[in-house]
Amino acid sequence: MTPSAVADLSSGSVTIVADLLFDGSGGPPLEDPVVTVEGGRIRDVRQRPQRWSQPTEEVHDFRGCTIVPGLIDPHCHLALDPTLAAEDSIAFATGASETEIVSLMERNARLAAASGITTLRDCGSPGHVGVAMRQIALRSGGAHPRLLVSGRPITTPLGHCHWMGLAAESGEELREAVATLAEEGVDFIKVMATGGMMTHTSDPFSAQYTSAQLTELVSEARRRNRRVAAHALCAAGVRAALAAGVNTLEHCVSTQGAPQDHDPSLDAAIADAGIIVGLTAHGPMRELLRAGDTKTIRERLAPHRRMLEAGVELTVHSDGGTPGSHFDAFAESIEIFRLGLDTSTAEAVRAATSSAAAALGIEDQTGLLAAGMRADLAVLDGDLGTDIRALRRVVAVAQEGQMNRPRERQA
């Protein structure tokens, strides 16, 4: 994004017009929308009347385009380089200086912002770079998405992502780890309830903690007003995290390929507890999309279709930063959600906007295009109603009061 392409929507009243608008609720789109923004907030969203006289105030005319809420990727790792293999990525995260890691995070954040992401939740970074990067993003004038960061994820001594630097095992250690992170200023707690794919000393298909241990962690997090995101790739980990009352289940079941260890008898309890599940549409899934392998995508998302039927609220994330999961292709993740779960385009947009905002606990601020919400929105070239690939053609992104234009329209 070049600075010359920035428009300031934070003072006065600004009107944005387009051909179509998805408000993020999952409902049908609005034709000929007029969005009025005042002081960085949405004042009004309505249909353009037949005899509409253009206001005298500033107007951004995006006819031929679709407006969606600013996208929210609820699970990324800005401190990881998606072009590296797991071992090289770990070597970088453990060997590079904090300055080097932060400059990688800035590069990744810029790619995410240019692809329409206005809020990004960072689910694990080494050392103290998470909170540092959040402050840099705050001052970036919309060049980076707004960040919510977990800092170091909590894990067992040789467990998943132990190389990020925070191991805890007993109830007392877990409470202490939460206290340390809260004092450092993290926004939420990320815990590794099972092993993971990137860490060879861990087992993705067994639980790292008992439900009693996770209950200690969750109660300390609640006491400190922090939500808990639990990474889980197998049913035993899901069971423990569910019993402990975490806020979100990350992955819930592996989409990497076989085996898939999912216990459908837990689906109703996940829905009843209001736990939001994050579907992983990462590099390996995007490769299937590019190869046109719909069959395998649908096989891997069969557990998620059952969860959806059981009433579980689902979000979609890129797991950006893990091998092959690039920061400029979130559109493909949303396409995978729609294709694999048989949803409407509006429901897929909802997973990446208002559902994601709810997962992060910021649904009163963003994720929906409605009066009073932050003016976070993305403008897509074309008709998203008939062409989901319009998500790949972001022509403008507004974050609160700043509008950037990452790309010229194709005429």
Q: In the complex, which residues of this chain contact Zn ion (CB under 5 A)?
A: 319
Please say whether the beta carbons of 310 and 267 come within 8 A.
yes
Give the whole-angstrom CA distance, residue 30 versus residue 52: 16
Residue 119 in tokens: 């809020």
- Which is nearer to Zn ion, 19 or 319 (by Cβ)? 319
Give the whole-angstrom CA distance, residue 164 versus residue 302: 32
- Which is nearer to Zn ion, 231 or 393 (by Cβ)? 231
Please say whether the beta carbons of 350 and 137 come within 8 A.
no
Distances (CA, A) of 66 to 28, 63, 77: 13, 8, 29
Radius of gyration of the chain, Cα coordinates, nearest whole angstrom: 21
Please say whether the beta carbons of 155 and 203 come within 8 A.
no
- What ranges in 302-392 are assigned the alpha helix state H? 302-309, 330-341, 345-351, 354-360
Q: How far is the CB of 259 from Zn ion (least distance, A)?
A: 19
Q: How far is the CB of 74 from Zn ion (least distance, A)?
A: 11
Q: Whose CA is closest to 29, among 274, 361, 405, 388? A: 388
Q: How far is the CB of 165 from Zn ion (least distance, A)?
A: 16
- Which is nearer to Zn ion, 319 or 400 (by Cβ)? 319
- Which is nearer to Zn ion, 89 or 402 (by Cβ)? 89
Give the whole-angstrom CA distance, residue 1 versus residue 275: 37
Q: How far is the CB of 77 from Zn ion (least distance, A)?
A: 6
Please list, in sequence order, all residues whose beta carbon lies within 8 angstroms of the beta carbon of residue 204, skipping any fewer than 6 positions away.
Answer: 160, 194, 195, 196, 197, 233, 234, 254
- Which is nearer to Zn ion, 319 or 335 (by Cβ)? 319
Q: How far is the CB of 335 from Zn ion (least distance, A)?
A: 20
- Which is nearer to Zn ion, 69 or 124 (by Cβ)? 124
Please say whether the beta carbons of 303 and 264 come within 8 A.
yes
When CB distances to Zn ion are compared, the closest residue is: 319
- Which is nearer to Zn ion, 150 or 404 (by Cβ)? 150
- Which is nearer to Zn ion, 220 or 319 (by Cβ)? 319
